[in-house]
Amino acid sequence: MEPGGCEAGPAVKAVAAVLPAGGSGERLGGATPKQFCTVQGRPLVSYTVRAMERVSWISDIIVVVSPENIETMKSIIEKYGHKKVTVAEGGITRHRSIFNGLKLFSENEFSNHLLQKPEVVIIHDAVRPFVEEDILLKVVMAAKEHGAAGAIRPLVSTVIASAADGCLDHSLERAKYRASEMPQAFLFDIIYQAYQQCTDYDLDYGTECLHLALKYCKTNAKLVEGTADLWKVTYKRDLYAAESIIKDSLSQQICIITDVKEAVVQVGFLLHECLRSQIKVEAVSVSLSKGNSHLQNIFSGQCYNFVCINDKKYATEEIQQLVNMLEESNIPLLHPVVLISAHLNSLENTSFSIDLEELTRMKKFAREVKRKNILVYGLLVQCKEKRSPWRGQEQGNTAPRLANNRGIGT
């Protein structure tokens, strides 16, 4: 979908993004630059790349890193299966790095890259991982119209100017000013022309791209109110916050998959009812062996937790099919995928036994897919009486009437 397809306004021919990621992380107080710090086991820059990558109308993403981090960045791209990404070598300041990134689009004749020059280029910090498609679209459309655009936020603190003696000179009226945030977007020709005219002083001491577009191209950027998500990971406390936000997002969605047998569908329905007050739940009844476009939609909606319910004793095959579908869907597996395979022991049968060979097979499978960031758990559910499990709950009991719950897996 092109930006013009979503909102009124002219369609944009091509949109690319440049992510400066050359910072040294001084303010974080650690040795690792903040963009490479891991959050839930994954480098921060990978979350930001993913946030841009999932936007279908962004064609290329340039990540600009300092020379010593080029190999690190390449291995991150490899490890997390990022597409559309090109690594560029950064300069010694922020503006020099962004300029280097932009050059990749303009100097194709001299290089091996075959990157199409975009009509609009987004500039976004590698340390702002929670950017949403909505604000990206807004700044791109505003840049198409005004030549430049940037996200802004209200000031959290009053801004003051100090006199030479270290005393207060004056304070700014907070309501008249805004914090300039990212993303920003520019007609490529405008920002590139601005950088070409920059003085060394600009390149060494400046930080604000909107300022360059104004100074050198007389382009007054359109300012777009952004949401609180746009904040920049600056201090160690911000890494803590990012970690908690990502953890939170992990547990917000679950998809219950059942086959089409009535008894199993009913269990799925009851589980759905139990869970829906706590987390976002989808439920589908499909034959996994046939594939399903509805499931594809669920994957791309970033639901990565599944409970597959069936009445076979083991269902390694079904789980294998789900894993295959996940892999074929070609989505980068950002967060761990959790698959719980719940096996209802034959509803008519009260005997209970574990097939050790099957169990070993399942555990081996779980170990294998764990490497792909897919966590498989198995659950054997035995009903105490000859009736549907969870029926106890329908009658007002809070605990399901299950005689045994046995966990297997990783």
List Cβ neighbours of 60 (8 Å cut-off, separation of 6 or more).
16, 17, 84, 86, 105, 115, 116, 118
Q: How far is the CB of 177 from a second copy (least distance, A)?
A: 5
Q: How far apart are CA 34 and CA 23, in angstroms?
A: 8
Rounded to 5°, angle at Cα 23 from 19 and 29: 135
Q: How far is the CB of 90 from a second copy (least distance, A)?
A: 20
DSSP letter for each residue of 6-44:
HSSSPPPS-EEEEEE-----GGGTSSS-GGGSEETTEEH
For residues 226 to 265, the per-residue mask of contacts with a second copy, x marking binding by CB under 8 A and - elsewhere, is: --x--xx-xx-xx-xxxxxx--------------------
Binding mask 127-166 for a second copy (x = CB under 8 A): -------------------x-x-x-xx-xxxxxxxxx--x
Mark residues 186-225: x for contact with a second copy by CB under 8 A, - for none: -------------------x-xx-xx--x-----xxxx--
Task: Determine contact, residues 9/144, Cβ cutoff 8 Å.
Answer: yes
Binding to a second copy, residues 286-315 (CB under 8 A): none
Q: Which amino acid is at 282?
A: E
Stretch that binds a second copy, among 78-86, 176-184, 268-276, 287-295 (CB under 8 A): 176-184
CB nearer to a second copy: pick between 60 and 238: 238
Question: Do 65 and 22 form a contact (C-beta atoms < 8 A)?
Answer: yes
CB nearer a second copy, residue 159 or residue 354: 159
> Quick one: which segment of 64-72, 177-185, 267-275, 398-406 binds a second copy (CB under 8 A)?
177-185
Of 203 and 342, the one with the shorter C-beta distance to a second copy is 203
Q: Does residue 169 touch a second copy according to CB under 8 A?
A: yes
> Is residue 9 a contact residue for a second copy (CB under 8 A)?
no
Q: Quote the CA–CA distance of 239 and 35 in Å, as a whole number.
A: 10
Q: What is the closest distance, in whole angstroms, from the C-beta atom of residue 232 to a second copy in the complex?
A: 7
Helices 356-370 and 316-328: angle between axes, nearest 10 degrees: 10
Length of the chain as a residue count: 410
CB of 63 to a second copy, least distance (A): 21
Task: Tell me phi and psi for residue 65, to 5 degrees.
Answer: -125, 160
E strands in 252-355 = 253-258, 280-285, 305-310, 337-344
Q: How far is CA 9 from CA 12, 135, 190, in A?
A: 9, 16, 20
C-beta closer to a second copy: residue 121 or 408: 121
Interacting residue ranges for a second copy, rule: CB under 8 A: 27, 146, 148, 150, 152-153, 155-163, 166-172, 174-181, 205, 207-208, 210-211, 214, 220-223, 228, 231-232, 234-235, 237-238, 240-245
